[in-house]
Amino acid sequence: MLTLGGKSAVGTINDNDKVPFGADLDPRTDNGSSNTDKITSIIQPEFTLSGGPLVRGGTVQLVDSQGRVTGTTAITAADVTAGQVNVKTVPLDDGVYTFQARILDASGQVKAQAPVTVTIVTDRDGVMPSVERAAYNGDFNRDGIADWEQNNVAQLPLASISAYLAGKYAPQQSFGAIMAGTVDALHPGTSVQLTSNAQLADLKVTAAPAPLPANTVAATPMLHFTVTAQTGLQPLSDMDPTRPGLQTRVVIDLPAGGVKANDFFKWNPVSKTWYSFLDDQRLDTFDNGATLLDLNGDGKIDRVVVTLTDGGPGDEDGLVNGTIVDPGMLVFQNLPPAPPAATPVFSIRMASGDRYYTTSAADAARMAQGTGNVLEGARFDSLEGAGSQHFNAYYQPFTKDWYFAADGQPMPYACYQRADGAGFNAALPGQGSGAAFHLDQNAQGLTQLVTVAEAASLGLAGQGYSDKGVKFSTTTSSAFVFDAEGYLVANRSNASVAALVQTLAGQYHATSEAGFVEVVEQHYLAQVTLVGIPHGSAASAADLNAAFGTHFGG
């Protein structure tokens, strides 16, 4: 809208005859917080020019700072009688504008002029009205309301960075739309059900912040948007009150023809890694991530429905603040089948009862030293590639508790110290397949990162532990329970193992002796790169005696 600070501006006739002349924004097009604040969302506001040498046959003009005429009106006899005349601008974009309002006589001579200023503020989504007017008659979703007048709808060139930079001059076929709302799960190609109080903001298109992983190509540029509630309105409604956090949705309609894509990638600026942000590909659930929709069966993605949780995975600001920041991009991955996970995460049960996890056999050997610390085996896999994040090891010296968390994740309580170099890779909650590992914690501050089934088998509830929710997910294909006798039997053809058994036979009478297990643990962890992780089934002292001709008791 147009604003004029203070009172109406006053000018003079060029021939130096003093003639009062004023120009101001017509109150009828001043729809800001008041009709005198000179702020409007009307992109073609009108100005009222009053006084001065209004003569039938003359004209009034608005001239911008570049000397371009942006509005003109012929002066009629009625205007002369009324002593004022209105003039409308050409369509304007958001911004502050200062014009020279002029009266010209019939010969084109300027007889009076005065400055006038207006501020245009439309839907605050970051896309200029001229861009939203450039395609689909300015109404992408065909709801009868201009897109630049809707805070929850924005259309703009999404096909490429060059199209985005071309703005209103981009080809119509490069335009798509971003809308705050959801779609009917049974009819996903129908109109978007807009979130009435939603405010889209900061919409833009950029290049990817880093090279994509091997065998992955970009299907779109990086698409940025923020969604929050409109100023002065109620907070965003929660689309799924049964789930923790506030869930909302944003629908991305891609340019005509769609794109070949099979994943939606997001960038973690902390770990400097890409990760997949796909959900379960169902619209009747509200798990975090993107649902990719091929609406016409041509093998290309036409629409993306992104489900987001305030402060949850995918919210780049990481804060529960009513504002969700979501940059992401569609990609096509032409990847070979993933090999089975080959990096086990060793589990050491410490003398305190806590568990320590590491992918390093040397680190596991160090932590397993002492008869009170026991190698349990491999509890789960360390994930590799897109979607995985490194979970660092943290130690609490007062409780002697070990905990593992990705950068930025909160600790169970204060005073944890980071142990650099340790840890494993896993997916954040809701971002990966595999088993969900929960945090169980007791009143003494000890923590356990276990599945629900493991918590039950370990009897954690009976030991005073309570479930604090999912902290990561990972696969368990290389998990195993370490069994000292089973390890020795499974590797009986290895010369190092055979020599170890003969040494043990001269020192221990039974395989159940703590020292026996300690020696076997350390041997396994020293030889793991040579022997590998075959461990066989659980074996007994009798099995060991049969394999090596020894005489151990149980």
Amino acid 533: pLDDT = 56
Question: Does the pLDDT at position 342 exceed 70?
Answer: no
Cα–Cα distance for residue pair 262/334, rounded to 1 Å: 9
Q: Looking at residues 420-430, what average pLDDT do you find?
A: 85
Indicate the pairing of strand 344-349 with strand 355-358.
antiparallel
The answer to whether 469 touches 513, Cβ cutoff 8 Å, is no
Rounded Cα–Cα distance for residues 390 and 229 (Å):
34
Cα–Cα distance, 378 to 526 (Å, whole number):
15
pLDDT tens digits along 499-514: 899 999 999 898 888 8
Calculate mean pLDDT across residues 96-111: 94
Read off the pLDDT band of 40 (50, 70, 90): very high
Residues 6+ apart with CB under 8 A from 215: 333, 334, 335, 336
In this predicted structure, the answer to whether residue 335 has a pLDDT above a threshold of 80 is: no
Neighbours of 38 (CB within 10 A): 22
Identify the residue with better confidence: 328 or 551: 328
Residue 434 to residue 424: CA distance in whole angstroms: 15
Provide the CB-side half-sphere exposure for 345 (13 A, CA). Answer: 27
Q: So what's the pLDDT on residue 2?
A: 35
CA–CA gap between residue 158 and residue 140 (Å, rounded): 13
Question: Cα separation of 479 and 476, whole Å?
Answer: 5
**120 compared with 513, residue with greater pLDDT:** 120
Domain boundaries, the chain: 9-120, 129-333, 344-474, 483-548
CA–CA separation, 152 vs 237, rounded Å?
14
The position carrying tokens 């902390």 is: 270
- At 146-171, the pLDDT tens digits run 999 999 999 999 999 999 999 999 99
Q: Rounded to the nearest 5°, which phi and psi values hold at 465?
A: -90, 145
Residue with tokens 């096909």: 159
Higher pLDDT, 60 or 383: 60
User: Where residue 319 falls among pLDDT bands split at 50, 70, 90?
Assistant: confident
215: helix, coil or strand?
coil
CATH class of 9-120: mainly beta
Query: Using one digit for the tens of pLDDT, what is the confidence trace for 348-383?
Result: 999 888 899 998 888 888 899 888 899 988 889 898
How does the average pLDDT of the chain come out, rounded?
Answer: 88
Element (H, E) at 489: helix 484-490
> pLDDT class for 94, splitting at 50, 70, 90?
very high
Polymer length in residues for the chain: 554
The least confident of 178-187, 431-440, 524-533 is 524-533
Contacts 24+ apart (CB under 8 A), 334-339: 334/215, 334/216, 334/217, 335/215, 335/216, 336/215, 338/385
Structure tokens at 204: 């833009």
Residue 23 identity: A
Tokens, residue 387 = 């979607």
Answer whether 305's CB lies under 8 Å from 317's CB: no
Give residue 12's pLDDT band: very low, low, confident or very high (50, 70, 90). very low
DSSP annotation of 368: T
Which stretch of DSSP H or E encloses residue 452?
Answer: helix 452-458
Are the C-beta atoms of residues 79 and 54 closer than 8 Å to each other?
yes
Residue 341 has what pLDDT?
47
SS3 453: helix
Q: Provide the pLDDT confidence category of residue 250 given band limits of 50, 70 and 90.
A: very high
How far the first Cα of the chain sits from its last, in Å, is: 89
Q: pLDDT tens for residues 122-146?
A: 999 999 999 999 999 999 999 999 9
**So what's the pLDDT on residue 190?**
95
Q: What pLDDT does residue 206 have?
A: 96
Please check whether residue 30 is in contact with residue 38, taking contact to mean a CB–CB distance below 8 angstroms: yes
281-316: b (≥16 Cβ within 10 Å) or e: eebeebbbbbbbbeeeeeebbbbbbbbbbbbbbbbb
Residue 488 has what DSSP assignment? H
DSSP designation for 174: G
Helix (H) or strand (E) holding 80: helix 77-82
Residues 144 and 121: their CA atoms lie apart, in Å, by: 20
Per-residue pLDDT at 549 exceeds 90: no
The number of beta carbons lying within 10 Å of the beta carbon of residue 504 is: 22
Alpha carbons 250 and 484: distance in angstroms, whole number: 54
Q: Determine the pLDDT at residue 529.
A: 60
Would you say residue 195 has pLDDT above 90?
A: yes
Query: How much of the chain exceeds pLDDT 90, in percent?
Result: 59
pTM: 0.59
For the residues of 250-274, what is the DSSP string, one character each? EEEEPPTT-B--SEEEEEETTTTEE
